[in-house]
Structure 1
Amino acid sequence: MPEKNKNRVWRYANRKFILSVEARDWVETTVRDAWRRYKYKIKQHHFLKYPNMTERLKHRPPKVPIAHFRALCEFWSKEPIQALAESNARNRAQLKWLHRMGPQNFSLTREKLREKEKREPTQSEMFFETRKGSRGKQLDEETGKVFSPTSRNG
């Protein structure tokens, strides 16, 4: 995010909330992540879903001005951008043992384990802690193999 925008976001957050200077990194990270999720949803629901610009503009998100949405669609339609997106999708598909923590920070997870165990967690303990399913979600097959009780002892 450009420095000018970081300063604008920080000033806006301070108008709404009482924040200490130490919270600035958290504010910037939170806004960045929310913006990335928002762009992802727009791309999934309003760009990839429709085959041409006419259909995309007809079904554009109501909160996005037409000029901005057109510029975004033109950007996503460029050959180098499409090639990069395809490369990223291939690379992501090859990943094994994805973490299941959502927005939770790894350092917070490490701190919770440290308090619980009264010592520094091992690398394997962090691996299992960050990949176990929550709320009844199933682990993917690859992670399930690694997560078997016999593999945890090693």
Structure 2
Amino acid sequence: MIITPKVVREIGVIFNSSINGPYIKYSEYPKEEFETLFARFKEAQFSYTCTEHELKDVIELHVKIRFSSWMSELRRGIFKKYPTVGERYAHAPENVPPRIWRQMVDKWMDEGWKKTSTINKRNRTKSKLIHTTGSIPMAKHRKEMQQIGIELSPLDLFKMFHVRKNGIWASNKATEMHVYLEKEVKKLKRLIKLILGKSAQESSQKDIVLTKEDDDGYEDDEVEANNSETE
């Protein structure tokens, strides 16, 4: 199932307009809050071809994936502008009640959270894989190409989605992964060639044996037929 950019924006708008608790991590986000979000999303009356249960699962997964980004955007908007705790308390975003915002600020200022955030940031920098498709999902690009008769290999698709217009890879991670994938594809091709070569050789040997048997059988039948005519 493909989520369109319009649906993505709608989910983000609904989420940010109803922050009812100091939930700075997805693991803290109550199930009831998601149920409310999903109910409001259905009111927007988007058309979909799957079941409601499947739609709900997809929306929930999207919220889970985007949660940390939403919180990061919310935090950065205030924390970068106001350096002191007091200033941060006093400048709650319009979409967050001041009482809840103060609790969120306290959590973000906690040393444990700061340490975890630093570690996560370091790990993301090491493994960051930047794509060049903008806000349009890769699956949508691929589906559109298939509809007009273009079918690219997985390796070509990877290159298409991770190389910029100037021909330069979008990230070091993408370059590393492409080199790795190319090596794996070459290994796989060699293996397939080896298997097909053995298979063709075995098939050829079998054909030779069968031909000889057929010839012998044919000659025997011919001899028997001639003998019958003689008699």
Q: Distance in 1 between matches of 2:146 and 2:71?
A: 36
TM-score by length of 2: 0.49
- 2:36 aligns with 8
| TM-score, with length taken from structure 1 | 0.68
Contact 2:129/2:171 (CA < 8 Å) preserved in 1?
Answer: no
How far 1:35 moved relative to its partner? Answer: 5.0
- Further displaced range: 123-132 or 22-31: 22-31
Partner of 1:71: 103
Q: Work out which structure has the larger RCO, using CA pairs closer than 8 Å and 6 or more positions apart in sequence.
A: 2
Distance in structure 2 (CA, Å) of the matches to 1:34 and 1:116: 32
Shift in Å, 1:70? 0.6
Letter in 2 for 1:66: P
**Aligned equivalents of 2:164 and 2:128: distance in 1?**
15
Q: Does residue 88 of structure 1 match 2:88?
A: no
- Identical aligned pairs, as a percentage? 18
Is 1:101 aligned with 2:133? yes
- Give the match's secondary structure for 2:104: helix
- What's 1:127 paired with? 158
Greater shift in the superposed pair: 1-10 or 41-50: 1-10
Q: Distance in 2 between matches of 1:45 and 1:96?
A: 23
Question: Could you list the per-position Cα deviations for residues 9-45 of structure 1 after superposition, in whole angstroms to 9, with x for gaps in the alignment?
Answer: 2222223315551433343345556654432222111
Q: CA deviation at 1:99?
A: 1.7
Q: Which has the larger radius of gyration?
A: 2
- The answer (yes or no) to whether the contact 1:47–1:73 under 8 Å persists in 2 is no
Which segments of 5 or more consecutive residues in structure 2 lack a partner in the other structure? 1-28, 187-231
* C-alpha separation in 1, matches of 2:138 and 2:78: 33
Match of 2:87 among 36, 55, 58: 55
**Hey, what's the Cα distance between the residues in 2 that align with 1:3 and 1:10?**
11
What is the identity, as a one-letter code, of the residue corresponding to 1:74?
Answer: D
CA distance in 1, matches of 2:160, 2:138: 10
Segments of 5+ residues of structure 1 without an aligned counterpart are none
Q: Identify which of 26, 46, 58 aligns with 2:78.
A: 46
1:95–1:18 CA distance, 2 compared to 1 (3 A): closer
1:90-131 CA deviation, whole Å, 9 max, x = no partner? 112223552233443333344345445654x43321221221
The separation in 2 between residues aligned to 1:140 and 1:34, in whole angstroms, is: 21
Deviation at 1:54, TM superposition (A): 0.7
Give the aligned residue type for 1:4: E
> Which structure has more helix as a fraction of its residues?
2
Match of 1:17 in 2: 45
How far has the Cα of 1:67 moved from its partner?
0.9
What is aligned with 2:221? none
